[in-house]
């Protein structure tokens, strides 16, 4: 089913296919959310979450997003695949405070077709204010050889419907 805003200009479908002019585009996205309450030990003297404490939040959100697809990191390790972080960029916009309930959104904007997967993160407080954003790149590696590999087939199978 297509929704049209202007004939021949922009058509969007629920499947992530859109037509602009005479060009057809395929889009997709997978997203998941996890909530974390800020603990006292994660804050500095001012009651603000210390900058490096966001990294475990991102890791928990990534792990839970994979769990929501029916797999775990442990499942992938049993398949002989590990996923080390190779790059992390974070932008802090507003402070997270002690006892805030944070929502960490994980977004996959592209379906990986090789050894690299790029996760985008957004952290919101209870007022729905955006506190931080991050882009984190991980590689799929064979655990025994530490050589690059592709995404495990079970994970790929779960993600494909979001991108087709």
Does residue 1 belong to any structural domain of this protein?
A: no
Does residue 3 belong to any structural domain of this protein?
A: no
**pLDDT at residue 75 is higher than 60:** yes
Does residue 10 belong to any structural domain of this protein?
A: no
**Across all residues in the chain, what is the average pLDDT?**
87
Quick one: pLDDT at residue 21?
A: 53
Does residue 135 belong to any structural domain of this protein?
A: yes
Quick one: pLDDT at residue 103?
A: 98
Quick one: pLDDT at residue 50?
A: 97
Quick one: pLDDT at residue 28?
A: 80
Tokens 């996760």 locate to: 119
Specify the length of the chain in residues. 164
* Closest by CA position to 106, among listed 68, 74, 58, 138: 58
Which residues are known catalytic residues? 44
What's the average model confidence in pLDDT over 55-80?
Answer: 96
What's the average model confidence in pLDDT over 53-72?
Answer: 96
Domain housing 106: 28-163
Does residue 97 belong to any structural domain of this protein?
A: yes
For 158, the token pair is 């779960």
DSSP string, 19-64: EETTEEEE---EEEEEEEEPPGGGB-TTSBBPGGGHHHHHHHHHHH
Which CATH number characterizes residue 56's domain? 3.10.129.10
User: How many domains does one find in the chain?
Assistant: 1
Which residues 6+ apart lie within 8 Å of 120 measured at CB? 106, 107, 108, 109, 133, 134, 135, 136
Does residue 93 belong to any structural domain of this protein?
A: yes
**pLDDT at residue 18 is higher than 70:** no
pTM of structure: 0.81
Does residue 17 belong to any structural domain of this protein?
A: no
d(CA 85, CA 66): 15
For 141, the token pair is 């590696």
**pLDDT at residue 15 is higher than 60:** no
Does residue 33 belong to any structural domain of this protein?
A: yes
**pLDDT at residue 9 is higher than 70:** no
């Amino acid at each position: 089913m297509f929704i049209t805003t202007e004939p021949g200009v922009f058509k969007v479908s629920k499947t992530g296919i859109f037509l602009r002019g005479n060009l057809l585009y395929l889009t997709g996205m997978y997203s998941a959310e996890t909530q974390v309450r800020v603990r006292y030990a994660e804050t500095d003297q001012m009651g603000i979450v210390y900058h490096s404490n966001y990294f475990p939040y991102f890791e928990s959100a990534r792990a839970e997003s994979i769990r929501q697809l029916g797999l775990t990191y442990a499942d992938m390790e049993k398949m002989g695949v590990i996923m080390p972080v190779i790059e992390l960029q974070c932008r802090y916009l507003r402070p997270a405070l002690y006892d805030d309930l944070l929502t960490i959104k994980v977004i996959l904007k592209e379906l990986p077709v090789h050894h690299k997967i790029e996760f985008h993160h957004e952290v919101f407080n209870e007022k729905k204010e955006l506190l931080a954003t991050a882009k984190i790149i991980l590689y799929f590696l064979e655990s025994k050889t530490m050589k690059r590999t592709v995404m495990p087939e079970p994970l790929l199978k779960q993600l494909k419907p979001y991108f087709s």
